[in-house]
Structure 1
Amino acid sequence: MKLSRAAAFTTSLLLGAALTLTGGTAAQADTSAAAVDYVALGDSYSSGVGAGSYDSSSGNCKRTPRAFPALWAAANSPASFAFTACSGARTADVTSGQLGPLSAATDLVSLTVGGNDAGFADVMTTCVLQSEATCVSRVNEAKRFVDTTLPGRLDSVYNAVRAKAPSARVVVLGYPRFYKIGGSCLAGLTENERRAINSGADHLNAATAKRAADHGYTFADVTPAFTGHEICSGASWLHSVNWLNIGESYHPTAAGHSGGYLPAFRSAL
């Protein structure tokens, strides 16, 4: 019986893990991903905004070797690695500008998208600069968008990925909760605002997970990995408002990619 590329990829990863657990050499274990063609798509949570050391050739996309896709590729030496994720990307940007490297030979795809469509940046700006009531209202507006409009946009991306990479294993990663409630922050947003923002992230993750599952894709929830590392935790893996580099606000640090996103991605494989 001939295995599909996705099944063969999964089998190879399991074999690599078994070699590691039973004393196989690192060189042997590394071969488990040697034949994998990997493409990393998505927004700033994939490109690595907030992690620093950006590749100048990526321009405003701000891709970095500290982002989880690059970390996984560096550790596993896949046969090919195409990194097209871009800061600010919405669903339409992924379908129109990032899918070029996908092909029938692609084995693995990672993707984060939806936050920009739902107006994440505007939500955070509203909550930082305006009243609690206005913040909560803006979060609720974003939730309505997630309920009514985002599913169709996600379907468009997921369908386009499958059309170009029919045998690939696709891992869709979510977004973290941003705040530890009752944490160490003494100023800034109110607890009600923080709860509303966390609720918005949960709402977005739930919608994304459902659409991913309906397409046969794996959803990787990063919330457990970031628990204890939210803003106000005292050990945050997320930038709070960064007035010196406003674009990094509410994005994972390098530790958030290596300690949060990368393990969640690995666990999904």
Structure 2
Amino acid sequence: MGDSFSSGLGAPGVSLDCGRSPQGYPTLWAQAHGITSFTDVACGGAVTDDVLAEQIPGLSADTDVVTITIGGNDTGWGNQVLTCMQSGDSACTNVVDQAVAGLPAVAAKIETAYAAIRQAAPDATVYVLGYPLLFEETAGCSAWIVPNQFQRKKLNRFGRALNQSIAQSAAKSGFPFVDTQAFFAGHAVCSSQAWIHPVLNPTPLHPNANGYRYGYLAALTSVTG
């Protein structure tokens, strides 16, 4: 369940409708655990309202494991990046500050989605996966066009705050939180071995195949075994 980070957007072989890839972490995890059939309702661009309206019906009382990454689109994370790059440092600071201040409202939406998941799949173990930090914060950068160092630090500040908020919501709901940040360390945009696509890419700021396998899958496996 969830958004493009759940669907596998950025990895090869994505579907045209929801950007689902067989190299996204749900399929990789299922394959690693010998699961030959499962329901994948994750969809690129999804917000919490989409989870409630379109993805919850994919669950049932027989569902035993659920994975979800959701919340990033509700916060306008992509708009923050564009504002930083197009409007400068002051506007970047303002838009990030506003997004951080808006996290409690987003958390309420996330918790509503979590409650609906629990109701639809009462016996399932629900793993909530967070987001990687998108940028390395070092001065040098090998990517072509990216936010400057000041902006990258601001945007990562939001990423950390978003993950903290999601982790708190997961804990309130009784769901284990899977923190992916450490697994992507040294492999964000501006690293020499990036696992996240740069801004100028058909799937900007999403993990590539290595990101899903060595970042997301590794993080999930560290919790589930």
Could you tell me the TM-score, scaled by structure 1's length?
0.79
Question: Of 82, 98, 118, which residue of structure 2 is paired with 1:125?
Answer: 82
**Residue type of the partner of 1:65?**
P
Query: Cα offset for 1:191?
Result: 1.4
Question: Unpaired runs of 5+ in structure 2?
Answer: none
In 1, distance between residues paired with 2:70 and 2:205?
Answer: 15
In 2, distance between residues paired with 1:188 and 1:223?
Answer: 20
**Aligned with 1:117: secondary structure?**
helix
C-alpha contact 1:183 1:232 (8 A) present in aligned 2: no
Q: How many residues align?
A: 222
The match for 1:91 is 48
The match for 2:221 is 266
**Residue type of the partner of 2:84?**
C
The match for 1:10 is none
C-alpha contact 1:237 1:256 (8 A) present in aligned 2: yes
C-alpha contact 1:173 1:219 (8 A) present in aligned 2: yes
The match for 1:190 is 148
Within-5 A mapping of 1:147-226: 147=104, 149-185=105-141, 188-226=146-184
Question: Unpaired runs of 5+ in structure 1?
Answer: 1-40
Query: Cα offset for 1:183?
Result: 5.0
Is structure 2 residue 7 aligned with structure 1 residue 52? no
Given the superposition, is the C-alpha separation of residues 183 and 252 from structure 1 closer, same or farther in structure 2, using an over 3 Å criterion?
farther
Given the superposition, is the C-alpha separation of residues 130 and 60 from structure 1 closer, same or farther in structure 2, using an over 3 Å criterion?
farther
C-alpha contact 2:61 2:121 (8 A) present in aligned 1: yes
C-alpha contact 2:18 2:43 (8 A) present in aligned 1: yes
Is structure 2 residue 187 aligned with structure 1 residue 232? no
In 2, distance between residues paired with 1:227 and 1:153?
Answer: 29
Query: Cα offset for 1:133?
Result: 0.9
In 2, distance between residues paired with 1:103 and 1:183?
Answer: 49
Moved over 3 A (4+): none
Query: Cα offset for 1:79?
Result: 5.9
TM-superposition CA deviations, 1:3-47 (whole Å, max 9, x none): xxxxxxxxxxxxxxxxxxxxxxxxxxxxxxxxxxxxxx0000000
**Residue type of the partner of 1:151?**
A
Query: Cα offset for 1:156?
Result: 0.7
- Mark the structure with the bigger radius of gyration: 1
Could you tell me the TM-score, scaled by structure 2's length?
0.94
Question: Of 28, 31, 35, which residue of structure 2 is paired with 1:74?
Answer: 31
